[in-house]
């Protein structure tokens, strides 16, 4: 069996290694110095050196490499994997410089596969351009939510709106004020089959009732140089169905890829994006 990389992958590897050696690695101390000087310590993606790296990455054709199809670089997983291994050598800086960092990667894949034209224009396009950030709100404190069939947050249809109530925690990147959109998993139909009870909805961060409670820590570390991990509370959060578009869960494995969710491939996921129809 031939395990060699194809020519396109080799070309991208060479281009990426040069970018890492001459731009990313020298910028690492600058990144941390600029991060310490920020007035908002959670807004890590606003440091000037990151903007410079992103401009250079786009110039070199090293942008959105993770995303296949028309919206991304069109690479297969086999082609992208060795590139991700290289960016992992500077985990806090290189993936963001290439717009290939979690949790945006998984969220962009969901929007590209299931989003309506309006949703893609409002949320996917600025994510693809690196103008905003996003979060995926699944994990909950009261249940073993690595198995998403246990999710307790309720999403209920009320006329032309979905109403959310629940509590989430360890939501990656949600402390960053530039995380403008949340993909929230909740229970829409408790009477359905166990693996068909959950759905996901798009919730803008500034929606009334969305409360960012705190940034969470592990042994004193809060990961502020990657947007932190937040505890969130949703209290009677109302989202218009025409823009939030719940996606119904239909299986035991997630169509929201593990690349943006820390490997949580056991989550229930959407089979489609039914454009505001009741779940």
Q: Higher confidence at residue 256 or residue 262?
A: 256
Residue 182 falls inside a structural domain: yes
What local confidence, expressed as pLDDT, does residue 23 receive? 98
User: Is pLDDT of 131 > 60?
Assistant: yes
Asked if the structure places residue 2 within a domain, the reply is no
Nearest to 170 by CA among 208, 136, 132: 136
Distances (CA, A) of 41 to 37, 190, 199, 205: 8, 40, 33, 18
**Are 162 and 252 part of one and the same domain?**
yes
Residue 265 lies in a domain: no
> What is the SS3 assignment for 201?
strand
Question: Both 54 and 126 in a single domain?
Answer: no
Please give the pLDDT value at position 224: 83
Residue 156 sits in the same domain as residue 179: yes
Q: Which of 41, 66, 100 is the last residue of a domain?
A: 100
In terms of domains, do 170 and 40 share one? no
Q: How many domains does the chain have?
A: 2
Same domain (yes/no): 125, 256: yes
Region 210-235: mean pLDDT is 92
User: Comparing 169 with 267, which gets the higher pLDDT?
Assistant: 169
The mean pLDDT value for 198-204 works out to 94
User: What's residue 247's pLDDT?
Assistant: 53
- Average confidence (pLDDT) over 69-78: 90
Mean of pLDDT over the chain? 87
The total of other beta-carbon atoms located within 10 Å of residue 21's CB is 10
The proportion of the chain whose per-residue pLDDT surpasses 90, expressed as a percent, equals: 77
Whether residues 45 and 132 share a domain: the answer is no
Report the CATH number that the domain containing residue 146 is assigned in CATH. Answer: 2.40.110.10
Residue 73 lies in a domain: yes
Span 241-265, mean pLDDT? Answer: 47
User: What is the model's pTM?
Assistant: 0.87
Q: What is the pLDDT of residue 225?
A: 78
**Are 164 and 231 part of one and the same domain?**
yes
Read off the pLDDT band of 87 (50, 70, 90). very high
Residue 87 sits in a domain whose CATH number is 1.10.540.10
**Residue 169 structural domain:** 108-260
Same domain? 193 vs 228? yes
Per-residue pLDDT at 96: 97
Q: Write the pLDDT tens digit of every residue in 27-69.
A: 999 999 999 999 999 999 999 999 999 999 999 999 999 999 8
**269 lies in a domain?**
no
Of the residues 84, 100, 116, the one at which a domain ends: 100
Residue 76 lies in a domain: yes
Residue 85 lies in a domain: yes
- 91: Cβ–Cβ under 8 A, 6 or more apart, which residues? none
Whether residues 240 and 143 fall in one domain: yes
Query: SS3 for 53?
Result: helix
What the block records as the tokens of 98 is 């290439």
Its sign, for the CA torsion 104, 106, 108, 110, is: negative
Does residue 197 lie within any of the structural domains?
yes
144/66 same-domain check = no
In this predicted structure, the answer to whether residue 188 has a pLDDT above a threshold of 60 is yes
Tell whether 121 and 215 lie within a shared domain.
yes
Same domain, 59 and 132: no
pLDDT of residue 100: 97
- Which DSSP string do the residues of 49-72 spell out, in sequence order? HHHHHHHHHHHTT-SSTT--STTS
The domain boundary residue, chosen from 53, 84, 100 = 100
The listed range with the strongest mean pLDDT (73-77, 80-84, 258-262, 275-279) is 80-84
């Amino acid at each position: 069996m031939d395990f060699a990389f194809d020519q396109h992958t080799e070309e991208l590897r060479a281009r990426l290694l040069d970018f890492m050696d001459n731009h990313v690695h020298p910028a690492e101390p600058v990144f941390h110095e600029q991060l310490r000087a920020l007035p908002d310590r959670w807004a890590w993606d606003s440091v000037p050196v990151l903007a410079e790296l992103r401009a250079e990455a786009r110039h070199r054709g090293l942008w959105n490499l993770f995303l296949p199809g028309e919206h991304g670089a069109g690479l297969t997983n086999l082609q992208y994997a060795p590139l991700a291994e290289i960016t992992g050598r500077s985990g806090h800086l290189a993936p963001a410089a290439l717009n290939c960092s979690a949790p945006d990667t998984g969220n962009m894949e969901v929007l590209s596969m299931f989003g309506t034209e309006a949703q893609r224009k409002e949320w996917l396009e600025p994510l693809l351009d690196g103008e905003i950030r996003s979060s995926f709100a699944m994990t909950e404190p009261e249940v073993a939510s690595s198995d998403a069939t246990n999710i307790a947050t309720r999403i209920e249809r009320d006329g032309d709106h979905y109403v959310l109530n629940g509590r989430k925690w360890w939501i990656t990147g949600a402390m960053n004020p530039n995380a403008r959109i949340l993909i929230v998993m909740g229970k829409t139909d408790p009477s359905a089959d166990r693996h068909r009870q959950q759905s996901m909805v798009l919730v803008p961060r500034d929606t009334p009732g969305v409360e960012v409670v705190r940034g969470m820590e592990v042994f004193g570390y809060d990961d502020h140089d990657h947007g932190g991990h937040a505890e969130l509370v949703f209290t009677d959060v109302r989202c218009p169905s025409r823009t939030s578009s719940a996606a119904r869960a239909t299986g035991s494995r997630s169509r929201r890829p593990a690349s943006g969710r820390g490997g949580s491939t056991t989550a229930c996921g959407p089979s489609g994006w039914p454009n505001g129809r009741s779940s």
